């Protein structure tokens, strides 16, 4: 009896897990799965780590360095001691601690710190942008799967209408009210539709394969369409005014800042360098020198380096100009990206409205033709054409609906609006 109660208790604990295993996945669920799988984001994260360590090394060049050294020298040194005996060897040992504090490096050390700090921010923003690009790809794959799935459902419904139509025509043929050609015409159209269905099945396999590649989820996973098509679309100006918040633009701006600092680093080589050096000797071979420590200031003034410094400065200035050109290009591409997506989405929403009206009319037209056919007011071809127009309009409407969802999500991601989604990225 006790074992049975334990079994029931364990079963009760497992039921929620079983129940949730088959729950349809939302776009956010798919994006979370893609975040864990993406090699691009993982690589970008390593670039952030590398930039941070380079920043630490830049700071290390400003801080003092302390080294301890020990040497022992043993050599053959024949000679005569005061007693007349011959000494055949001598040993010397030195134990010291040296501290070196850079005092001045032509301001290049602090410029290098600022440069590496900018590079860290650039890599972090590049990672954010990679995450938004991943979100756009997942959204496209997610809604493409749903669009093809809906298209398949519409085709199945159309095939049922064709089958119902064939059955009605056969009954009419049996009582002499329809001709054989009428039945064959509908059967021919049904066969063509079945071929289209097979084509859509192939599209379904491809769409699910793409989503599975991005997310690592099973191809047969159920998807949940929870987002509605946007009703009120913001103006193009409102979207373009937020373009500067895009991570790729911020990353490009930080690269410009970094290369500006790099110019200062290169120019610092023209200026002298000053170091404060101190030694402490715990053991030294010269016993006559009673001092066990010393301090010195070393000044190095570059006079001629064979044009190397000048070349480095010119290279740094060229890299700065190149980064500014790249920033300008990124800004122009961003504006064009937003403009293109906004125009496409605006046109799709208008087409959806027109298609919805056309669908309602075509549905009424089909029903009216079916009723009129019963009274021999229209031909079988008229009914068939009305049915085809009705279903084709519905297919076009559903495709446009999901394409609008794809473009809307990509438009939102293009101006960094999907903040909630990026919270998942920050948690990775």
pLDDT class for 424, splitting at 50, 70, 90? low
| pLDDT, tens only, 159-174 | 988 888 888 778 777 7
Q: Which helix (H) or strand (E) holds 274?
A: strand 273-283
| pLDDT, tens only, 54-105 | 888 888 888 888 999 988 888 775 654 544 444 445 678 888 899 998 888 8
User: How far apart, in whole angstroms, are the C-alpha atoms of residue 322 and residue 319?
Assistant: 5
The whole model's pTM is what?
0.79
User: How far apart, in whole angstroms, are the C-alpha atoms of residue 378 and residue 385?
Assistant: 11
Averaged over 407-414, what is the pLDDT? Answer: 90
Residue 391 or 286, more confident:
391
Q: What is the pLDDT of residue 105?
A: 82
Q: What is the pLDDT of residue 78?
A: 60
pLDDT class for 15, splitting at 50, 70, 90? very low
- Specify the CATH number of the domain 33-71+94-331+418-426: 1.20.1600.10
Ordered DSSP codes for 225-241 = --PPPPSSPPPHHHHHT
Q: Where are the domains of the chain?
A: 33-71+94-331+418-426
Q: Are 145 and 207 in contact (CB under 8 A)?
A: yes
Averaged over 391-403, what is the pLDDT? Answer: 93
pLDDT class for 428, splitting at 50, 70, 90? low
Q: What is the pLDDT of residue 418?
A: 54
| pLDDT, tens only, 282-317 | 877 765 666 788 899 989 888 888 899 999 999 999
User: How far apart, in whole angstroms, are the C-alpha atoms of residue 385 and residue 369?
Assistant: 10
Averaged over 326-337, what is the pLDDT? Answer: 94
Q: Angle at the Cα of 243 (from 237 to 244), degrees rounded to 5?
A: 130
User: Is pLDDT of 13 > 90?
Assistant: no
**DSSP-derived secondary structure letter, 24:** P
* CB neighbour burial string for 242-254, b if at least 16 within 10 angstroms, e if fewer: ebeebbbbbbbbb
User: Is pLDDT of 8 > 50?
Assistant: no
Averaged over 215-240, what is the pLDDT? Answer: 86
Report the chain's mean pLDDT, rounded to a whole number: 84
Ordered DSSP codes for 50-112 = HHHHHHHHHHHTTS-EEEEEEEEEEE---EE-TTSPEE--EEEEEEEEEEEEEEESTTHHHHH
- Spatial neighbors of 81 by CB under 8 A, at least 6 apart, are 87
Q: What is the pLDDT of residue 422?
A: 56
Q: What is the pLDDT of residue 19?
A: 37
């Amino acid at each position: 009896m006790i074992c049975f109660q334990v079994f029931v208790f364990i079963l009760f604990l497992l039921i929620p897990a079983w129940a949730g295993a088959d729950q349809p996945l939302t776009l956010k669920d798919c994006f979370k799965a893609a975040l864990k799988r993406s090699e691009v984001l993982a690589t970008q994260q390593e670039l952030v780590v590398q930039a941070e360590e380079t920043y630490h090394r830049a700071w290390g060049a400003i801080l003092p360095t302390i080294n301890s050294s020990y040497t022992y020298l043993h050599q053959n040194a024949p000679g005569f001691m005061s007693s007349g005996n011959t000494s055949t060897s001598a040993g010397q040992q030195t134990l010291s601690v040296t501290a070196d504090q850079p005092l001045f490096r032509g301001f290049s050390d602090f410029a290098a710190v600022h440069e590496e700090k900018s590079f860290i921010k650039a890599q972090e923003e590049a990672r954010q942008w990679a995450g938004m690009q991943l979100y756009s790809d997942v959204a496209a794959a997610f809604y493409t799967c749903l669009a093809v799935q809906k298209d398949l459902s519409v085709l199945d419904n159309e095939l049922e209408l064709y089958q119902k139509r064939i059955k009605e025509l056969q009954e009419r043929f049996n009582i002499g009210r329809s001709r054989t050609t009428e039945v064959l015409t509908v059967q021919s159209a049904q066969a063509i539709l079945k071929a289209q269905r097979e084509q859509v099945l192939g599209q379904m396999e491809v769409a699910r394969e793409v989503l599975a590649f991005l997310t690592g989820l099973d191809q047969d996973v159920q998807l949940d369409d929870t987002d509605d098509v946007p009703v009120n679309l913001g103006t193009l100006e409102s979207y373009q005014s937020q373009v500067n918040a895009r991570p790729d633009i911020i990353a490009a701006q930080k690269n410009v800042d970094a290369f500006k600092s790099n110019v200062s680093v290169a120019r610092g080589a023209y200026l002298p360098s000053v170091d404060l050096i101190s030694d402490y000797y715990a053991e030294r071979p010269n016993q006559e020198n009673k001092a066990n420590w010393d301090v010195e200031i070393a000044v190095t003034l570059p006079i001629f380096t064979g044009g190397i410094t000048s070349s480095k400065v010119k290279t740094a200035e060229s890299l700065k100009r190149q980064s500014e050109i790249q920033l300008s290009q990124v800004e122009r591409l961003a504006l064009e990206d937003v403009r293109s997506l906004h125009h496409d989405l605006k046109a799709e929403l208008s087409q959806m409205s027109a298609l919805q009206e056309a669908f309602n009319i075509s549905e009424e037209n089909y029903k009216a033709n079916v009723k009129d056919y019963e009274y021999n007011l229209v031909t079988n071809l008229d009914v068939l054409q009305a049915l085809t127009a009705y279903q084709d309009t519905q297919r076009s409407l559903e495709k446009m609906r999901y394409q609008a969802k794809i473009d809307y999500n990509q438009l939102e991601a293009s101006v960094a609006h999907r903040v909630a989604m990026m919270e998942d990225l920050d948690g990775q």
